[in-house]
């Protein structure tokens, strides 16, 4: 299993990376949505992407919209992992094509539970 972590915070990338590696995922990292699109073009398709909302260059919502506009990545699950707590943002992300939405701060158990909800055996 392969996961792409998209977050402008190196600390958050490390935290999520450790959780996912222990759950059996190979990890690829990106610092923002634009960087993530570049990374996607260079790696085997990840089964899941964990994406922050607030990032420079291209935010998480714009990344989701770009990915979902390209049928190549239809099978990739997308989980927004963000500090955005307004229900309008959650609705926007899900309507844009995100499959799950988790709010920061999160626990390891919360991430693993969301992955299970997406169909992963972790």
pLDDT at 20: 98
32 part of a folded domain: yes
pLDDT at 24: 97
63 part of a folded domain: yes
82 part of a folded domain: yes
72 part of a folded domain: yes
> What is the pTM for the complete model shown?
0.96
28 part of a folded domain: yes
Q: What is the length of the chain?
A: 122
Residue pair 37/57 in contact by the 8 Å Cβ criterion: no
Residue 70, SS3? coil
6 part of a folded domain: yes
57 part of a folded domain: yes
122 part of a folded domain: no
pLDDT below 70 — which residues of the chain? none
Residue pair 13/49 in contact by the 8 Å Cβ criterion: no
pLDDT at 84: 82
What tokens were used for 118? 């997406």
Q: Which residues pair with 5 in a beta bridge?
A: 29, 50
Residue pair 85/58 in contact by the 8 Å Cβ criterion: no
CATH number of the domain within which 58 lies: 3.40.50.2300
Range(s) of the domain holding residue 112: 2-117
Nearest to 63 by CA among 37, 89, 81: 37
The beta strand positions in the chain, using DSSP E, are 2-6, 26-30, 48-51, 77-82, 100-103
Count of domains for the chain: 1
Residue 5, SS3? strand
């Amino acid at each position: 299993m392969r996961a792409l972590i998209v977050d402008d915070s190196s600390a958050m990338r490390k935290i999520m990376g450790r959780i996912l590696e222990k759950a059996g995922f190979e990890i690829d990292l990106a610092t923002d949505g634009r960087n993530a699109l570049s990374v996607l073009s260079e790696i085997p398709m990840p089964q899941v992407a964990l994406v922050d909302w607030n990032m420079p260059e291209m935010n998480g919502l714009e990344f989701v919209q770009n990915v979902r506009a390209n049928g190549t990545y239809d099978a990739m699950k997308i989980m927004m992992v963000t500090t955005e707590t307004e229900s309008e943002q959650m609705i926007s992300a899900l309507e844009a094509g995100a499959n799950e939405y988790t709010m920061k701060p999160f626990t390891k158990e919360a991430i693993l539970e969301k992955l299970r909800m997406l169909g992963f055996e972790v």
